Amino acid sequence: MFAQRQLNYSNVNRVQAKEEREMTTIIKRKLMDIEAPNRSTGIVNGSSSNVLNWDDVRFGWAYPKYKRMLGNFWTPFEINMGTDVKQFTLLKTEEKEAFLKIIGLLALLDSIQTDFAGKVADYLTDSSLNALMIILAQQEVIHNHSYSYVLSSLVSKAEQDRVFDFWRTEPVLQKRNEFVMQGYEEFTNQPNIDSLLTAIVYDVVLEGLFFYSGFAFFYHLARHQKMVGTSTMINYINRDEQIHVDLFVKIYLELLEEYPEMNTLERKRDVERIFKEAAELEIEWAHEIIGNKIDGLDVEDVESYIYFYANVRCAQLKSERPFPAYRKNPLKWIKAYEEVDLGKTDFFEQKSRQYVKINVQDNGFDDL
């Protein structure tokens, strides 16, 4: 009887603790605060004049990240689509269908990200982090423009409109969209520390996992010298998304540092649970677009690739890996296409570019 009372008391405490965390509301950054220092006093709910002096910011990693994001600037106009226009008509029906469905998916996801980045930025006290989020949102706009650029080069306006509306009618896409939206909308409807942390986890799912079966498809085409222009564009988007994931991971970890009471075993388990479900949704999508329809691309290998990246993202968020058996990237060939910053002439025979080498943690590493 005593043990039962203790258990009930413990359960009540856990419920109360969760309610207290959820009540830690966050307020929007002031447009100007004459009484506050330029250097913010907290990542959220702190004080800041909102004046950005890069030599006086709270987080030492913010300025290097800013330089890196600026250095990665690109536009779709740099991509030569001439060969792709000729090759698209020669693709197999299944390849064309996968190509268009993936472009439609990416267009939706990057549209969501543009808006979500702005909503998060409103609550970040630190003006340097707000600046990084604005650059992130601008990069998402470029991504969306690139999808229109590709489609307008390859298909009619009517077909382009159909592709941009895939998400309205595709059941597999609808499930994925609802999954991410529940995490985002909880934050936008009730902004607090708990919902912001959870929304960031869903962001890492979207940018760090939900793109990856599509990336594998485009890199598979490039590997066989098909649609090289489009795959170059995807390569640049992949690079940007890696940096976006790293930025959100840094914000997530800084939040836990400033609010250690939020760094609970329950939260770590929630991260694992979210990525388990996300991986299954991405695998369902992989079977929809790849299945046994794409010659030379084994959907079982893509499954393992997705499990591997779910582990990578959970490790970045300091949670346990949900799929411990998947510790190596099964698509060894894909590293050449993912590692976009090796300072070599790129693999897609476009113009030679020099980039600063990316941090291995940002880039998807073989061994976990």
For the segment 295-332, what is each residue's pLDDT rounded down to a tens digit?
999 999 999 999 999 999 999 999 999 999 999 999 99
Largest CA distance in the chain: 78
Residues 9, 63, 147, 355: which is the catalytic one? 147
Q: What angle do CA 236, 242, 246 make, to 5 degrees?
A: 150
- Which residue's structure tokens are 């405490």? 13
Q: For residue 143, what are its two tokens?
A: 């991504």
Is residue 202 annotated as part of the catalytic site, yes or no?
Answer: no
- Nearest residue to 146 via CA among 111, 95, 97: 111
The pLDDT of residue 19 is 53
For the segment 247-257, what is each residue's pLDDT rounded down to a tens digit?
999 999 999 99
- Nearest residue to 247 via CA among 131, 367, 336: 131
Higher-confidence residue of 222 and 12: namely: 222
Q: For residue 248, what are its two tokens?
A: 């959100």
The structure's pTM equals: 0.87
What is the distance between the alpha carbons of residues 20 and 24, in angstroms, rounded to a whole number? 7
User: What is the secondary structure of 274-323 as a DSSP string?
Assistant: HHHHHHHHHHHHHHHHTTTTSTT--HHHHHHHHHHHHHHHHHHTT---S-
The pLDDT of residue 366 is 41
CA quadruple 194, 200, 203, 209: dihedral sign? negative
What is the distance between the alpha carbons of residues 203 and 191, in angstroms, rounded to a whole number? 15
The residues, any chain, with a CB within 8 Å of residue 207's CB and separated by 6 or more, are 109, 113, 241, 244, 245, 248
The residues, any chain, with a CB within 8 Å of residue 78's CB and separated by 6 or more, are 350, 351
The fold adopted by the segment(s) 52-362 is Ribonucleotide Reductase, subunit A (1.10.620)
Query: Helices (H), strands (E): how many in the chain?
Result: 14, 0
- Phi/psi of residue 25, nearest 5 degrees: -70, 155
Mean pLDDT, range 331-341, rounded to an integer: 79
Q: Which of 45-59, 180-194, 248-262, 328-342 has the lowest mean pLDDT?
A: 328-342
- Nearest residue to 151 via CA among 166, 136, 171: 166
For the segment 351-362, what is each residue's pLDDT rounded down to a tens digit?
333 333 333 333
Mean pLDDT, range 60-81, rounded to an integer: 95
What is the distance between the alpha carbons of residues 260 and 346, in angstroms, rounded to a whole number? 43
